[in-house]
């Protein structure tokens, strides 16, 4: 997701710049001012409460803003990204935005501040008042709006300076010039943001082979926890020695070890466009870990795909695999195969259900030749990009 907040005093040109940004980057536009005007036009309870405050140029309470913004965001959680105009306008709202982004497993990429001196704002708003039909575009109210901006909204900038995602643009330039400045900021943001896919499916559904091929095709890094653990053992690292001991005692590898390995992989990334995770997260706990790890690196899950294969087909595939050279130790007997399928059913299906509610999980039919499934997968990923 690409999430941007446009910041600046009234009249800085946020609305004008938003028009082109939402088209160019296919973003969902959220202007709290527009949402409030809609509530007022519908004479809703919220609209009636906000009316007199807006008319005087004051700021509507954070409680009202939470209600209108939460509703809009959750109704559009599948969007490519959000463009916020006129929000956050208070320090509290900056925290509210953080919380909302976490809820959607995403984060704000940057806050772009359109800087214009006060007199330019006043002049622009007075001109706009001639045609906008907005009763708050008159000099007295404009002055009040600017006072509110200086007092309550400017401190918001510090929040984003501290986070290191605050970027300034000279808003007094020509509209096209401002476009260009913003476009180059966003291009830079997009090159930083990772495209992360989580691949689900029962054992035998082809996650491994498809995941590797897809990683190659899209220039992503394939992250499979099983082979990562094996590699540590092979390289005889201190972690490898611990894993080996656990394996030998028939114990599960604790999440702490898996987390360290994935964390290392994410931190080491260089010139990587994103990751494909396979075999992780396997449990609800691991799903929280993955969210936290990505968040720490200013990233999030971009797409979740589940490869669907009927159970009988899975069993016959796993059985066939148990008779080949590439047989994994855990594929070697019917009892072990059944155990793995049951593990997936009881531990991983709840994870898929959780993600389905939060982000939506794309289902891909995993029956057919490798190439047929691969083509379906590529199509699904292209759709989500
Ligand atoms: P705008 O269209 O963004 O200029 O907003 C018009 C008016 O709506 C403002 O002067 C405020 O009274 C109110 N408003 C819009 N967004 C917010 C917000 N995030 N917090 C508080 N009040 C807001």
pLDDT value at residue 327: 60
- Cα dist. 70→58, 80, 93 in Å? 21, 17, 12
pLDDT value at residue 169: 96
Beta strand segments in 133-241, E: 166-170, 197-201, 221-224
Measured from the Cα of 86, ligand 1's closest atom is: 3
In contact, 306 and 201? CB cutoff 8 Å: yes
Measured from the Cα of 31, ligand 1's closest atom is: 3
Alpha-carbon gap, residue 206 to 46, rounded angstroms: 51
Question: Backbone phi, then psi, for 112, in 5-degree steps?
Answer: -100, 120
pLDDT value at residue 130: 86
Give 114's strand partners. 169
Rounded to two decimals, the pTM is 0.62
Cβ(68) – ligand 1 distance below 6 Å? no
Contacts of 152 (CB under 8 A, 6+ apart): 59, 89, 90, 91
Q: How far is the CA of 288 from the centre of ligand 1 (A)?
A: 35
Q: How far is the CA of 243 from the centre of ligand 1 (A)?
A: 56
Q: One digit per residue, pLDDT tens: the chain, 385 residues?
A: 889 999 999 999 999 999 999 998 889 999 999 999 999 999 999 999 999 999 999 999 999 999 999 989 988 877 888 999 999 999 999 999 999 998 887 889 999 999 999 999 999 999 988 888 888 888 889 999 999 999 999 999 999 999 999 999 999 999 999 999 999 999 888 777 788 999 999 989 999 999 999 999 998 999 998 889 999 999 999 999 999 998 787 777 898 999 999 988 888 876 678 999 998 998 999 999 998 888 777 778 989 999 999 999 999 998 888 887 666 665 667 887 888 888 899 989 999 999 998 878 999 999 999 999 999 999 999 887 6
Pocket test for ligand 1, best of 5, 32, 62 (most atoms within 8 A of CB): 32
Q: How far is the CA of 347 from the centre of ligand 1 (A)?
A: 46
pLDDT value at residue 124: 92
Torsion angle of the four alpha carbons 195, 201, 205, 209, in this order, in degrees rounded to the nearest 10: 30
pLDDT value at residue 270: 67
Cβ(145) – ligand 1 distance below 6 Å? yes
3-class SS of residue 308? strand
CB atoms within 10 A of CB 353: 12
pLDDT value at residue 115: 96
Alpha-carbon gap, residue 229 to 226, rounded angstroms: 5
Cβ(87) – ligand 1 distance below 6 Å? yes
CA-nearest residue for atom 6, ligand 1, is 33
Cβ(18) – ligand 1 distance below 6 Å? no
pLDDT value at residue 287: 93
Cβ(86) – ligand 1 distance below 6 Å? yes
CA-nearest residue for atom 1, ligand 1, is 33
């Amino acid at each position: 997701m690409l999430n941007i907040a446009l910041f600046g005093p009234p009249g800085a040109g946020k609305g004008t710049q938003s028009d082109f940004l939402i088209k160019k980057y296919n973003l969902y536009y959220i202007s709290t001012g527009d949402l409030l005007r809609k509530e007022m036009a519908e004479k809703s309870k919220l609209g009636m409460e906000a009316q007199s405050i807006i008319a005087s140029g004051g700021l509507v309470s954070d409680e009202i803003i939470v209600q209108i913004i939460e509703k809009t965001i959750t109704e559009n959680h599948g969007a490519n990204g959000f463009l916020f105009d006129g929000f956050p306008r208070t320090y509290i709202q900056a925290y509210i935005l953080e919380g909302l982004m976490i809820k959607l497993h995403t984060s704000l990429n940057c806050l772009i501040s359109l800087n214009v001196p006060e007199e330019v704002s006043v002049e622009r708003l007075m001109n706009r008042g001639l045609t906008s039909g907005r009763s708050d575009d008159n000099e007295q109210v404009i002055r009040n709006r600017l006072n509110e901006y200086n007092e309550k909204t400017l401190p918001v900038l510090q929040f984003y300076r501290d986070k290191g995602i605050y970027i300034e643009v000279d808003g007094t330039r020509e509209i096209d010039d401002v476009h260009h400045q913003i476009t180059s900021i966003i291009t830079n943001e997009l090159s930083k943001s990772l495209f992360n896919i989580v691949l689900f499916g029962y054992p035998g559904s082809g996650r491994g082979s498809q995941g590797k091929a897809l990683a190659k095709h899209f220039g992503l890094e394939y992250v499979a926890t099983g082979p990562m653990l094996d590699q540590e053992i092979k390289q005889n690292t201190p972690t490898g020695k611990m894993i080996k001991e656990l394996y030998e005692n028939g114990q599960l590898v604790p999440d702490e070890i898996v987390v360290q390995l994935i964390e290392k992989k994410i931190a080491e990334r260089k010139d990587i466009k994103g990751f494909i995770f396979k075999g992780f997260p396997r449990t609800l706990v691991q799903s929280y870990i993955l969210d936290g790890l990505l968040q720490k690196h200013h990233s999030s899950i971009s797409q979740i795909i589940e490869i669907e294969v009927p159970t009988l087909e899975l069993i016959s595939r796993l059985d066939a695999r148990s008779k080949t050279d590439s047989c994994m130790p855990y594929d070697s007997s019917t009892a072990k195969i059944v155990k793995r399928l049951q593990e997936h059913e009881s531990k991983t299906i709840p994870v898929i259900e959780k993600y389905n509610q939060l982000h939506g999980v794309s289902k891909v039919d995993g029956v057919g030749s490798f190439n047929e499934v691969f083509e379906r997968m590529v199509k699904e990923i292209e759709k989500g990009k």
